Amino acid sequence: MAISIARKTLLHDWRRFLPATIAIAFSGVLMTVQGALLLGIVGANSLYVTQSTAGYWVGFPGTQSVDLGRAIPASVATNLYAEREISHVEPILFGSGDWRGMQGAGGVSVTILGIETDNNAEALARIIPMWLRNQLNEPGTVVVDVADASKLSARKGSTAEVNGHAVRVIGYIDGLRGLGGVNVVASRETARSLDRSLPGEGGATYFLYDVKKEADGPIVQMRLNSGQGVRHFEVWSAEELASMTTMYMLLDSGAGIAFIFATFIAVLIGAVITSQTLMSAVAGTVPQYATLRALGVPFHKLRLIVVEQAGWVGLLGFCISLILSLALAIAAAIYKVPFELRFSIIVSASTVVLVVAAVACVLAIHRLRDTDPAMLLR
């Protein structure tokens, strides 16, 4: 009985419930998009780690975020080579510079990444193919992210200056777009020539390494981190460093806190819009429920009808929200917007909207309990 009445009411009064469905859909989109943007933005700083294939990173002790690394001496590599279970050691440099385009473009602050150019190199291996990496062996050559090319006025084959040194753009990569500044990738030798403050030959900002297949990576990491005396380095797994960087951006940077606050406001606004719209829709049907109550239908049966209505309205709104969110994710990918749409975000946003919808409907119908049905039918 409850299900049939709920469906018939929705079909008969679809115009009354249409605004509630649209409100749920756009509330879900608002929460989903805000959450995906939050994850995309805070996760952008960890791209150096996630776009590389190395299993472990070695850096200055106490480093809180991968982009805040400090120079470590060449002696650190000696400690790594002394471990028989380590199979690959590779340095990477993080420098800074001022980019000036030759076509009259203004100065742009850039992060200079000096990477290994061998075929088995792991730094940024997910986005820099071997053929392009090998071309970086030519002195003074760099690659930039395609999304930052217009900002730098950089075309393939064009020249520019970094810290007063001429460079030539030999190609584009996709997947290393910076948030504040711009990433410029070069060989280690070119990076040192562009930024004289980088550590000399043998030193690095980080050393990347992998372990042999039969080795226990966490045990090797623990052994390296348990050195006695003054520590000159610290070892993190790639997952630990990426998570550490994301949490630093999320909780310890002003931008992350501001975006969390904005996300909370978005969730609150979505919940209020959904609840008020649904409460208005249900309140308009109170006389019909009063009729059922006057006919002897128990109050808990009426509440089941309302919850069933909220479920159907919420389900339809969720479907619309999912379609719109996927469309926005595609648009974000096209325009290189940091947008990380996860299944957990969709589930969380949908749960919030559906729970708010159910509670709003129950609250709207709850006044029937203490109201004389005869008064509602006048």
16 class by beta-carbon count within 10 Å (0-12 exposed, 13-18 middle, 19+ buried): middle
Say yes or no to pLDDT of 349 above 60: yes
Domain boundaries, given as residue ranges, for the chain: 2-44+254-376, 73-232
Report the candidate in 205, 235, 241 with the shortest Cα–Cα distance to residue 86: 235
| Pair 235, 56: CB distance under 8 Å | yes
pLDDT at 369: 62
Say yes or no to pLDDT of 1 above 50: no
**pLDDT tens figures, 214-240:** 889 999 999 999 876 567 899 999 999
- Number of CB atoms found within 10 A of residue 168's CB: 15
Strand, helix or coil for residue 73: coil
Using CA atoms, how far apart are residues 70 and 273, in angstroms rounded to an integer? 48
Return the structure tokens found at 23. Answer: 């409100």
Using CA atoms, how far apart are residues 162 and 184, in angstroms rounded to an integer? 10
Mean pLDDT of 335-362: 80
Say yes or no to pLDDT of 256 above 60: yes
| Single-letter residue type at 301 | K
The DSSP call for residue 67 is: G
CA 36 to chain centre: 6
**pLDDT tens figures, 159-188:** 999 998 999 999 999 989 877 679 999 999
**pLDDT tens figures, 10-34:** 777 777 778 778 888 888 888 888 8
In Å, what is the CA distance from 71 to each residue of 57, 65, 198, 243, 368? 13, 14, 7, 21, 71
pTM score, whole prediction:
0.79
Say yes or no to pLDDT of 319 above 60: yes
- Number of CB atoms found within 10 A of residue 73's CB: 14
pLDDT at 114: 96
| Pair 227, 80: CB distance under 8 Å | no
**pLDDT tens figures, 84-141:** 999 999 999 999 999 988 765 568 889 999 999 998 999 999 999 999 999 999 999 9
Q: Which of residues 136 and 351 earns the better pLDDT score?
A: 136
CA 201 to chain centre: 35
